[in-house]
Amino acid sequence: MASDVSGIVAILTSVGDRPEAEAALAKYSRNLVPNTVGRVLQVIKDVDVSLFFFRWVTRSHRGESIHNNFTCNCLLRTLVKARRHHQAYQIFRDELLGQHCDTNHITYNTLIGGFCKAGDMERAFQLLAEMKERGHSPDVVTHSSIVQALCNTGNLSRAMQYFRESVECAPDSVLFNILVHGLCKANQLSEARQMIEEMSERGIVPDVVTYNSLIDGLCKSYRMEEARQLLETMVKRKVRPNLVTYNTLIYGYCKTGCTGLAHQLIERMIQSGTHPDVVTFNSLISGFCQKSKIDKACEVLHLMKKGLCAPNLVTYNVLISGLCDAGRANEACELLSEMDGRGILPDIITYNSLIGIFCRNFQIEQAFQIQNLMVERGVIPDGISYCTLAVALLKSERFDEAFALLDNMFDAGAIPNLFTFNSLMEGLCCSRRLDEARHLLAVMRRVGCDPAASTYEVLVTGLCKAGRVDDAKEVLVMMVSEGIQPLVSSSGTIVHTLAREGKQDLALHYFDQVVAAESKACDPSYQKLLEFVKVLREGKSNS
């Protein structure tokens, strides 16, 4: 049988589903048995070739079906793995059901799993109902597929309800781990702990996957001491931490600025026999850069290059960004050259960091050299690239070049995000190009990036500084009409500007009609503005 499997696979691999394959396969037809057919289907990865072979077997054995549940399930699994679950369902209905095989729980688990991975829960639940109607009891594999899909699609509450109401068989660690992970991802850490306690009560021992999910949730909530204590609990319970455990904690420590504790944990993981990888060191480099300890970060890169661990694109991007933030442009450019020597291709993040530092230093020609270099290497500038350059041109009063660059940006289809649009708005306001700044609001809406309260605040502040208070009020009215609540700081800018211009009555009227109606008393900015208005009222009553 093994030789038949090898021979058939060799033909299908070389000839595929072309007509001449049938003649080559003919010599195997007489001795075919279901086990051979199933083994071939398990080996062949090409879906169309698998379908061709399955149907050839059907044609070559007319009158006696060589197929059974095993061969049919192998075919369905191949289709589902290729994300052709709809086709799998259609073939199951039209070609398999009642002709070549009876259904079993594996058949339905395969189909349900395919639709669950695709997020089609309506069809998955239809198949679940059909499975029960045909007398097949859902098992832990069925339930795990459904619970996982519900968690993945953001239906955690429904996943929990399904687990409580529909799971009749004994759940295993896999099913519990899915729920623990879902709860942690939703930041429901207390509920995750309760789920782990329930595991233990049911006699299921939490494993490293269970603990890793909870540690990850705690670290993302910056509850590092609890995460550390959970690590000690793991060790006490003879659950060995793995690379994921350590990397999660190290990332958490670095994110919260505790690089010393991160370094200690790296030493501990090495002593325990777990070797750090590039993710470990990237976290440490990021932590040092975050604390402006750039030299320390460079030392880590040096250790990596000495053979400890090969740096990757993320390593260089983090360190180049850190060097740029520290104003060390020359060293950042040296790292760019080093990447070339190591065969690591820079990406848009690399180039944008360098464009940013040169623009901040008003070395605009060098920034354009970086942009030209990235284009030569096939990296397309994005909205951040264009806007960073445009803002630098605006601040240098090179207005025609800035607007030409923005036209190029939109022609190229490079759409900035909200943060980048806000930077551009600030650049226009600082350059007193206020009409263009107002027009930018319309541009943002046209490209599908709706202005936010922060966008309006930049514009209102710019208009007030230029003495265009009426225009600023008009912008705020437009903002409110769009359902966006003004920031207290924006309204406060108008109040202060009106007061400075000697228009105290108008300032107080504006405060009473707009600011007081929209603001919350607990807002510290509002309290400061309230004190200023109180002084205005007292001054007015004394005059």
- Looking up tokens 């991975």 gives 117
What is the model's pLDDT at position 24? Answer: 84
Q: Please provide residue 160's backbone torsions phi and psi, each rounded to the nearest 5 degrees.
A: -65, -40
The string of pLDDT tens digits covering residues 333-381 is: 999 999 999 999 999 999 999 999 999 999 999 999 999 999 999 999 9
The strand pairing partners of 101, in sequence order, are: 97
- Looking up tokens 């208009």 gives 463
What are all long-range contacts of 158-165, with beta carbons under 8 Å and residues at least 24 apart?
none
pLDDT at 497 over 90: no
What is the model's pLDDT at position 254? Answer: 95
Percent of the chain exceeding pLDDT 90 equals 49
Q: Are 158 and 128 in contact (CB under 8 A)?
A: no
Q: Where does 452-543 sit in CATH, by number?
A: 1.25.40
The whole-chain average pLDDT of the chain stands at 88
| 101 SS3 class | strand
Q: Which amino acid is at 313?
A: L
| 83 SS3 class | coil
DSSP type of residue 26? G
- How far apart CA 95 and CA 399 sit, in angstroms, is 68
Sign of the C-alpha dihedral computed for residues 24, 25, 31 and 36 taken in this order: positive
Q: Are 536 and 507 in contact (CB under 8 A)?
A: yes
| 97 SS3 class | strand
Enter the tokens of residue 503.
Answer: 């228009």
Chain centroid, CA 343 distance in Å: 27
- Alpha-carbon distances of 192 from 212, 218, 261, rounded to whole Å: 12, 11, 26
DSSP for 415-461 reads ---HHHHHHHHHHHHHTT-HHHHHHHHHHHHHTT----HHHHHHHHH
What is the model's pLDDT at position 416? Answer: 81
Class of domain 170-276: mainly alpha
CA neighbor of 327 nearest in space, from 284, 372, 352, 292: 292
- How far apart CA 88 and CA 118 sit, in angstroms, is 13
Say how many residues make up the chain: 543
- pLDDT-based confidence at residue 542 (cuts at 50, 70, 90): low
Q: Please provide residue 32's backbone torsions phi and psi, each rounded to the nearest 5 degrees.
A: -65, 135
What is the model's pLDDT at position 521? Answer: 55
The strand pairing partners of 57, in sequence order, are: none
Enter the tokens of residue 204.
Answer: 């299921």
Q: Which amino acid is at 79?
A: L
Chain centroid, CA 133 distance in Å: 40
- pLDDT-based confidence at residue 2 (cuts at 50, 70, 90): low
37-61 burial, b for 16+ CB within 10 Å, e for fewer? Answer: bbbbbeebeebebbbbbbebbbeee
- How far apart CA 299 and CA 260 sit, in angstroms, is 15
- Looking up tokens 């070389």 gives 14
pLDDT at 168 over 60: yes
List Cβ neighbours of 60 (8 Å cut-off, separation of 6 or more): 25, 26, 29, 32
- Looking up tokens 């070797």 gives 275
What is the model's pLDDT at position 42? Answer: 92
Q: Which amino acid is at 19?
A: P
What is the model's pLDDT at position 333? Answer: 96
pLDDT at 504 over 60: yes
What is the model's pLDDT at position 406? Answer: 84
Q: Where are the domains of the chain?
A: 170-276, 452-543
CA neighbor of 220 nearest in space, from 197, 243, 187: 187
- How far apart CA 148 and CA 254 sit, in angstroms, is 31
pLDDT at 518 over 60: no
Q: Do domains 170-276 and 452-543 have the same CATH topology?
A: yes
What is the model's pLDDT at position 175? Answer: 92
pLDDT at 512 over 80: no
The string of pLDDT tens digits covering residues 55-84 is: 888 888 776 778 888 888 899 999 999 999
Enter the tokens of residue 465.
Answer: 């500084």
- For helices 453-465 and 488-500, give the axis angle rounded to 10 degrees: 10
What is the model's pLDDT at position 399? Answer: 85
Q: Are 340 and 370 in contact (CB under 8 A)?
A: no
The string of pLDDT tens digits covering residues 102-143 is: 778 899 999 999 999 998 999 999 999 989 998 888 889 999
